[in-house]
Amino acid sequence: MWMVALGVLLILLKVGDIGPFGMWSWWAVLWPFPVAMVWWAWADSSGWTKRREMDKMDAKKADRRAKNLANLGMDERGRRMKSK
């Protein structure tokens, strides 16, 4: 995503003829887009994006479980009376 944002910024600077970017060739301005495509292709084929998504879901599930246990009084503080 950063490469796409950088590419858009470089295009705006080139079209607006701002600073030295107006003198750059279009190849120099458009290089972030193929880099982003290669990155996304690698991330999808390696399963990296799926693992990150699963890690986020697991973290949400653990937070939800901890919150529910705390609401029931069964958290690590042990607010519920323990039977001996």
Dump pLDDT digits (tens) for 59-82.
999 999 988 888 887 877 665 555
Number of domains forming the structure of the chain: 1
Please state the pTM of the whole predicted model: 0.58
Write down the pLDDT at residue 78.
62
- Domain membership flag for residue 79: no
Report which of 44, 50, 7 is spatially closest to residue 29, judged by C-alpha positions. Answer: 7
Q: Residue 55: what are its φ and ψ, rounded to 5°?
A: -65, -40
- Whole-angstrom distance, CA of residue 36 vs CA of residue 41: 9
Is residue 84 classed as helix, strand or coil in its secondary structure? coil
38 in any annotated domain: yes
Greater confidence (55 vs 81) lies with 55
Alpha helices of the chain — where are they, by DSSP H?
2-15, 26-30, 32-46, 48-72
Report yes or no on 84 lying in a domain.
no
Distances in Å between the Cα of 64 and the Cα atoms of 50, 75, 80 are 21, 12, 19
In a domain, 48, yes or no: yes
Within-domain flag for 82: no
By three-state DSSP, how is residue 79 classified?
A: coil
pLDDT at 47 over 80: yes
Range of the domain at 19: 2-72
The answer to whether residue 80 sits within a structural domain is no
The answer to the question of residue 30 being in a domain is yes
